[in-house]
Amino acid sequence: MAVQSTTLDRKVAERPPASLWRDALERLLKNRLAILGGIFVILLVLLAVVGPFITPYGYSQTDTQLIRDLRGPANPGQGGHLFGTDILGRDLLSRIMDGARISMTVALVVQVTVILIGVPIGALAGWFGGRVDNLLMRITDITYAFPDLLFIILLTVVFKDTWFGDAMDGLLLVFVAIGIVSWVGVARLVRGQMLSLKETEYVEAARAIGVPDRKIVTRHLLPNAIGPIIVAVTLGIPGAILAEALLAFIGIGANPPRASWGSLITDGQTWMSSEPHLLLFPAIAIALALLSFTFLGDGLRDALDPKLKGKQ
């Protein structure tokens, strides 16, 4: 009763081969909120890059004539200003776009700093364990115990009149400072990944073949950790944007006339009752940015969840 080859040219079940990334992308694309967030994020980035070239007015361009004519700031729609102006006649829309630039730069610089510091520390701590781990974790504790604000303010104050402090109108300093106090989460994450992946069988196998440690970490372990890192970075961006806004509130950050969303809101507060648009539009802008990164981050997290791999 031996079974022979049969009519196999009949296609019975067709499923394309699944890779982690393609699965993740599929899942991500099914998540409407995440797509919405993603679209807006792309919009923001585009705005940040081309903004200064397409705004009708410069962000610092004043129009005192208009103010005199109107006896105050322009309301939305008046005088060719879609979002109105502030008391100096500066176009709010342009300033908000400049603020978008600043916020996107915050996102970029802060997270790059976080990755540059956090990933190596976490990887080393997780891989070597023992004394190295202990030492690095104590450093992490110290960084964590620092009141963030103090450090940032101190740092800005210390470097204020140096080339570093003046770079990008004082913003680079702030961003790096925020990054320096924010890397702890990513470090712990990477360390955790190292710890759990270290014991897996394919690492044993790689060692058995004689792959050097360094390669194991960079070729095998880190790529597996990339998923959670991406999620953490995306979800950390709202925090960075908020931090910048808080600092603007106490007067640290963009040197005038540059206007970050935080400083626009802070200024707009005083005009709340008479010219609400000065507070409203920047607040909406920041809200949209915070939400879109959060939804995108959520979507990424769900999409990259290894436990969901292969399941519906």
Partner 1 sequence: MTATDDDRRVDTGSPAVAELPDAEKLPEAVSLETEEGRRLASQLADEKTRHARKLLEVRDLSTQFFTKDGIVHAVDRVNFELDYGETLGLVGESGCGKSVTALSLTRLVPDPPGKIISGEIIFDGVDVMKLTNEEMRLLRGKRIGFIFQDPMTSLNPTLTIGFQIAESARLHLGLSNRAANDRAVELLSKVGIPRARDRMADYPHQFSGGMRQRVMIAIALACDPMLLLADEPTTALDVTIQAQILELIRSLSEEFGTAVILITHDLGIAAGMCHRVNVMYAGQIVETGVTDALFENPEMPYAWGLLDSLPRLDEERGAKLRTIEGMPPDLLKIGDECRFSPRCPYSREICHTDEPELTERGGADHLARCHGTEPGRGWIQ
Partner 2 sequence: MTTYIIRRVLWLFPVVFIVSVITFLLMHAAPGTPFQPVSDRPLPPAVIDRLEAQFGLDRPIHEQYISWVGNMLQGDFGPSYRIRGRGVSEIITDNMWASIQLGSMAFGLAVILGIPLGVVAALRQNKWPDYLSTFISVIGIATPSFVLAVLLVLIFSVSLHWFPTSGWRGPEYWVLPVIALSGYGIAQVARYTRASMLEVTRRDYVRTAQSKGLKERSIVTVHMLRNAFIPVVTILGPLLAGLITGSFVVESVFAIPGIGRFFVDAIFQRDYGLIMAVTLIYAVLIAVMNLVVDVAYAWIDPRIRYS
Q: Which stretch binds partner 2 (CB under 8 A): 23-31, 40-48, 122-130, 280-288?
A: 280-288
Which positions from 170 through 229 interact with partner 1, judged by CB under 8 A? none
Torsion of CA 97, 99, 105, 106, to 10 degrees: -150
Count other Cβ atoms within 10 Å, centred on residue 260.
29
Place of tokens 């991406």: 230
242 in contact with partner 2 (CB under 8 A): yes
CB of 237 to partner 2, least distance (A): 12
Q: Which two tokens stand for residue 38?
A: 């993603």
Q: Tell me whether residue 216 or residue 229 sits nearer to partner 2 (CB atom).
A: 229
- 91 φ, ψ to 5°? -70, 125
Q: Tell me whether residue 15 or residue 71 sits nearer to partner 1 (CB atom).
A: 15
- The dihedral region occupied by 291, where left means phi > 0, alpha psi between -120 and 50, and beta the remainder, is alpha
CB of 307 to partner 1, least distance (A): 11
- In sequence order, what are the residues at sequence separation of 6 or more whose Cβ sits closer than 8 angstroms to the Cβ of residue 264? 92, 95, 96, 99, 278, 282
Binding mask 96-135 for partner 2 (x = CB under 8 A): ----------------------------------------
Could you report how far apart the first and last alpha carbons of the chain are, in Å? 39
286 in contact with partner 2 (CB under 8 A): yes
CB of 16 to partner 1, least distance (A): 13
Which positions from 283 through 312 interact with partner 1, judged by CB under 8 A? 312
- In sequence order, what are the residues at sequence separation of 6 or more whose Cβ sits closer than 8 angstroms to the Cβ of residue 171? 102, 105, 106, 253, 254, 258, 260
Q: Compute the residue count for the chain.
A: 312
147 in contact with partner 2 (CB under 8 A): yes
Q: Which does 206 bind (CB under 5 to 8 A by kind): partner 1, partner 2, none?
A: none
The closest alpha carbon to 111, from 258, 299, 293, belongs to 293
- 208 φ, ψ to 5°? -60, -35
Which positions from 221 through 240 interact with partner 2, judged by CB under 8 A? 238
Q: Tell me whether residue 67 or residue 265 sits nearer to partner 2 (CB atom).
A: 265
CA distance 181 to 178: 5
Q: Which does 213 bind (CB under 5 to 8 A by kind): partner 2, partner 1, none?
A: none
Q: Tell me whether residue 108 or residue 290 sits nearer to partner 2 (CB atom).
A: 290
14 in contact with partner 1 (CB under 8 A): yes
Which parts of this chain interact with partner 1 (CB under 8 A)?
Answer: 1-8, 10, 12-14, 312
Which parts of this chain interact with partner 2 (CB under 8 A)?
Answer: 138, 141-142, 144-151, 153-155, 157-158, 160-161, 185, 238, 242, 245-246, 249-250, 262, 265-266, 269, 272-273, 279, 283, 286-288, 290-291, 294, 298
